Chain A
Amino acid sequence: MKRKISDLQFFFIIFVSVASLTYFSIPTQLVPKARQDLWLSMAIGAAVDIYVAYILHWLGRKYPGQSLIQYSRTVLGPIGTLFGFIFVLFFLIVIVSAMWLFCKFLSTTLMPDTPGIIFSATMTLATGWAAYHGLESIARLAQFISVLILSASVLLILFSIRELNLHYLLPPFENGVGPAIKGAVYPASWFGICIVIGMLMPHLANPKRTFKMKASAVLLGAFVMTVTFLCSMAVIGPYMASRIDYPIYMFSRIIHLAFFERFDILLMLIYISGTFITFSTLYYGAAVGAAQLFGTRTHRNWVKAFAIFFVASPLLPFSNNASYAFLFFDKWFPLFGLLIEGGITTLIFVAALAKDRIERRR
Chain B
Amino acid sequence: MKRNNRPLQEQIGQFKSELGNSADLSIRECAVGVKQIPIAVLWLDGIVDTQSLNEGVLAPLISRTRELDVTAHEDLYIWLQNSVITAKKVSHALSIDQAITLLLSGHSIVVMDGCEGSIAVETLGIETRSIEEPASTVVVRGPRDGFVESLEVNVSLIRRRIQNKKLRVEAMTVGSVTHTSILILYLQDRAPEETVAEVRRRLSQIHIDAVLESHYIEEIIRDNARSLFPTVYSTERPDDIAGGIVEGRVALMVNGTPFVLLVPCTLFHLMKTSEDYYLAYPVATFVRWLRYIGLFIALLFPSLYVGVLMFHPEMVPPYLLSSILSAREGVPFPLLIEALLMELTFEGLREAGIRMPRAVGSAISIVGALVIGESAVRAGIISSPTVIIVAGTAISSFIIPSIDLSGTIRLLRFFMLICASLFGLYGVLFGLILIGIHLTTLRSFGISYLAPIAPYKKDEARKTLIRVPWWTLRTHSRRHR
Q: Any chain A CB within 8 A of the CB of B315?
A: yes
Residues from chain A with Cβ under 8 Å of B317 in the complex:
259, 261
From residue B456, how far is it (CB to closest CB) to chain A in Å?
A: 6
List B residues 308-328 near A (Cβ within 8 Å): 311-312, 314-318
B214 interfacial by beta-carbon distance below 8 Å: no
The answer to whether A262 and B423 touch across the interface, beta carbons within 8 angstroms, is: no
**Are B315 and A262 neighbours in the complex by a CB distance under 8 Å?**
yes
A294 at the interface (CB under 8 A from B): no
Q: Is the CB of B315 within 8 A of A265?
A: yes
CA of A239 to CA of B429, assembled, Å: 33
Task: Report how far A141 CA is from B454 CA in the complex, Å.
Answer: 8
Best-surrounded residue of B314, B423, B430, B437 (most CB of chain A within 10 A): B437
Q: What is the bound-complex CA distance between A97 and B464, given in angstroms?
A: 41
Q: Which of B311, B426, B441 contacts A106 (CB 8 A)?
A: B426
Q: How far is the CB of B186 from chain A (nearest CB, A)?
A: 25
* Contact among A6, A262, A273 for B314, CB-based, below 8 A: A262
With the chains together, A140 CA to B435 CA distance in Å?
A: 13
Query: Complex Cα distance A122/B423, Å?
Result: 10
**Chain B residues, CB < 8 A from A265:** 312, 315, 425
Tell me the smallest distance from the CB of B430 to a CB of chain A, in Å.
5
Q: Chain A contact residues (Cβ within 8 angstroms of B): what range?
A: 20 to 34
Contact residues of A between 244 and 292, Cβ < 8 Å to B: 259-262, 265, 269, 272-273, 276
Of the stretches A42-50, A87-95, A129-137, A153-161, the one at the interface is A129-137
| A118 with B454, Cβ < 8 A, contacts A126-B430, A126-B437, A273-B429 known | no
Closest partner residue, chain A, to B451 (CB atom): A140
- Contact check, A140 vs B448: say whether CB atoms are below 8 A apart: yes
A140 touches B455 (CB 8 A): yes
Q: Contacts A137-B440, A261-B315, A265-B315 known; A143 to B423 CB distance under 8 Å?
A: no
- A144 contacts chain B at the CB level, 8 A cutoff: yes
Residues of A within 8 A of B430 (CB): 122, 126
Is the CB of A119 closer than 8 A to any CB of chain B? yes
Q: Is A351 an interface residue (CB 8 A)?
A: no
A interface footprint on B420-433 (CB within 8 Å = 1, 0 otherwise) = 00011111011011
Once the chains bind, are A141 and B440 in contact (CB under 8 Å)? Answer: yes
Contact A114 B437 (CB under 8 A): no
Could you tell me the distance in whole angstroms from the C-beta of A205 to the nearest C-beta in chain B? 10
Number of interface residues of B (CB under 8 A): 27
B453 within 8 A of A: yes
| In the assembled complex, B434 has its CB within 8 A of some CB on chain A | yes
Asked if B450 is an interface residue, CB under 8 A from chain A, the answer is yes
A261 partner, pick from B314, B425, B432, B436, beta carbons under 8 A: B314
Given contact pairs A261-B316, A262-B314, A137 touches B437 in the complex (Cβ within 8 A):
yes
The answer to whether A141 and B426 have CB atoms under 8 Å apart is no
Is B437 in contact with A130, judged by CB distance below 8 angstroms? Answer: yes
* B449 nearest CB across to chain A (Å): 10
Give the A-B contact count at a CB cut-off of 8 A: 75
Q: Is the CB of B450 within 8 A of A140?
A: yes
Q: Give complex CA distance A122, B424 in Å.
A: 13
Contacts of A125 in B (CB 8 A): 434
How distant is the Cα of A331 from the Cα of B346 in the complex, in angstroms? Answer: 58
- B residues within 8 A CB of A8? 456
Decide yes or no: A144 and B437 within 8 Å by CB, A259-B317, A262-B314 being known contacts: no
* A79 contacts across to B, CB distance below 8 A: none
Q: Which of B316, B318, B436 contacts A141 (CB 8 A)?
A: B436
Q: Is the interface of B mostly helix, strand, loop or mixed?
A: helix
Instruction: Provide the bound-state CA to CA distance between A124 and B454, in Å.
Output: 24
Report the bound CA distance from A225 to B28 in whole Å. Answer: 89
| Min distance, Cβ B320 to any Cβ of chain A, angstroms | 9
Q: A143-B453, A273-B433 are in contact. Are A111 and B426 (CB under 8 A)?
A: yes
Chain B residues lying within 8 Å of A110, measured Cβ to Cβ, are 424-426
Contact partners of B318 in chain A: CB under 8 A: 261
A313 is an interface residue with CB less than 8 A from chain B: no
- Nearest residue (CB) in B for A114 is B423
Determine whether the beta carbon of A133 is less than 8 Å from that of B440.
yes
Q: Which of B425, B433, B434, B455 contacts A9 (CB 8 A)?
A: B455
In the complex, chain B residues whose CB is within 8 Å of the CB of A130:
437
Q: Is the CB of A129 within 8 A of B437?
A: yes
Is the beta-carbon distance between B433 and A276 smaller than 8 angstroms? yes
Bound-complex Cα distance A111 to B310 (A): 11
CB distance from A220 to the nearest CB of B (A): 17
A126 touches B315 (CB 8 A): no
Are the CB atoms of B433 and A126 closer together than 8 Å?
yes
Q: Is the CB of B450 within 8 A of A126?
A: no
A35 and B440 CA atoms in complex are apart in Å by 41
In contact, A144 and B314 (Cβ under 8 angstroms): no
CA distance A110 to B312 in the complex (A): 9
Q: How far is the CB of A47 from chain B (nearest CB, A)?
A: 30
Whether the pair A262, B441 counts as a contact (CB closer than 8 A) is: no
Contact B437 A141 (CB under 8 A): yes
A1-52 residues at the B interface, CB under 8 angstroms: 6, 8-9
Complex contacts, A126 vs chain B, CB 8 Å? 430, 433-434, 437
Contact status of A133 and B429, CB under 8 A, knowing A6-B455, A114-B423, A259-B317: no
Contact with A along B80-114 (1 / 0, CB 8 A): 00000000000000000000000000000000000
Cα A139 to Cα B450 in complex, Å, equals: 12
Closest-CB distance, B234 to chain A (whole angstroms): 26
Residue of A nearest to B436 (CB): A141
- Against A, the Cβ 8 Å flags (1 = close, 0 = not) of B442-481 are 0000001010011110000000000000000000000000
Is the Cβ of B312 less than 8 Å from the Cβ of A262?
yes
Asked if B437 and A133 sit within 8 Å, CB to CB, the answer is yes
Q: Decide yes or no: A272 and B426 within 8 Å by CB, A6-B456, A129-B434, A144-B454 being known contacts.
A: yes
Cα–Cα distance between A76 and B316 once the two chains are bound (Å): 59
B311, B314, B316, B440: which contacts A140 (Cβ < 8 A)?
B440
Among A137, A259, A272, which residue has the most Cβ atoms of chain B within 10 A? A137
Which residues of A lie under 8 Å from residue B434 when comparing CB positions?
125-126, 129
* Cβ–Cβ < 8 Å partners of A106 in chain B: 426
Tell me, rounded to whole Å, the shortest Cβ–Cβ distance linking A254 to chain B: 14
Q: How far is the CA of A140 from the CA of B441 in the complex (A)?
A: 9
**How far, in whole Å, are A335 and B450 apart by their CA atoms in the complex?**
42
A122-B430, A126-B430 known; A111-B437 Cβ under 8 A: no
Residues of A within 8 A of B312 (CB): 262, 265
Complex: A140 Cα to B437 Cα, angstroms: 9
Closest 8 pairs between A and B when the two form their complex, measured CB to CB? A140-B454, A137-B440, A140-B440, A143-B454, A262-B315, A126-B433, A130-B437, A133-B441
9 contacts between A and B (CB under 8 A): A6-B456, A126-B434, A133-B437, A139-B454, A259-B317, A260-B315, A261-B315, A269-B425, A272-B426
Q: Knowing that A144-B454, A265-B312, A269-B429 are A-B contacts, what are 13 other residue pairs whose CB atoms are under 8 Å apart, sorted by A's residue number? A: A6-B456, A111-B424, A114-B423, A119-B426, A122-B427, A126-B437, A129-B437, A137-B437, A140-B448, A140-B455, A141-B433, A141-B440, A261-B314
